[in-house]
Amino acid sequence: MLEVTDLHVSYGSVNAVRGVSMSAQAGRITLVLGSNGAGKTTSLRAIHGLLKAKSGSVKLKGKEILGQPSHRQVRHGLVMVPEGRRIFPSLTVEENLRMGAYTATRAATQKTMAEVYEKFPILLERKGMPGGLLSGGEQQMLAFGRAMMSQPEVVLLDEPSMGLAPAMVDRVMNRVREIADTGIAVLMVEQNADAALAIADDVVLVQRGEVVWTGTAEQAQADTALVHTFLGEAALGA
């Protein structure tokens, strides 16, 4: 569904991403692992048109989208939940959700909002509350819900567990799994390898802007030495 091929991104003379290729398929979670500075977030931002890529290809359902602005990609079915959630703290929960539905009709917005409230009941309880007063985990649910409002086919997730209490991490990861199980393709960057591998289907390991390993989550879990080599002992809860 989403195919990234030979992606190159530079910051001036620095080649931050060098020939990265990865994919995300309907109903599956592709997990992108790598140490800080490996080029993971840069890749996501380039895929979504937030950074200009030097070269490569990004195809959504067979159509080239590399270089298209992010708002146009949303209309085609690709949405991103950025690192740090980036909700609007002064707007209510419901207003935040409506911000994610700018491409949808009024009827579609109401239908999707009902579905989001069903999937994330805490948002229904908090719908009149300013987003900035939610806990970190609740804000992440709001960011997920806002992304769902555009009825995406592919979701890019950047560090969804960042800054969350350990007890909340599993809840957030379970929601990511539920999103994929509805048939949405998920491409996720996440530092918490232990929690992320528990829900992922496929894994791409990135180091210094290059893909150094690809395989299934089961293979990565079985070969813990591989992940330790590139992420350190803390990556798998060791």
The CATH number of whichever domain residue 170 belongs to comes to: 3.40.50.300
DSSP codes of every residue in 8-55: EEEETTEEEEEEEEEEE-TT-EEEEE--TTSSHHHHHHHHTTSS--SE
Is 0.75 topped by the overall pTM?
A: yes
Instruction: Encode pLDDT of 37-69 as tens digits.
Output: 899 999 999 999 999 999 999 999 999 999 999
Instruction: Say what percent of the chain tops pLDDT 70.
Output: 96
CA–centroid distance for 190 within its chain = 9
Least Cα distance to 164 among 132, 140, 187, 148 occurs for 140
Domain coverage including residue 46: 2-236
Give me the number of domains the chain comprises.
Answer: 1
Instruction: Encode pLDDT of 5-36 as tens digits.
Output: 999 999 988 899 999 999 999 999 999 999 88
The pLDDT, as a whole number, for residue 232 is 60
Instruction: Encode pLDDT of 61-95 as tens digits.
Output: 999 999 999 999 999 999 999 887 789 999 999 99
Least Cα distance to 186 among 22, 2, 29 occurs for 29
Q: Which residues of 148-177 are buried (b: 16+ CB within 10 A; e: fewer)?
A: bbbbbbbbbbbbbbbebeeebbeebbebbe
Query: How many Cβ atoms from other residues are within 10 Å of residue 62's Cβ?
Result: 7
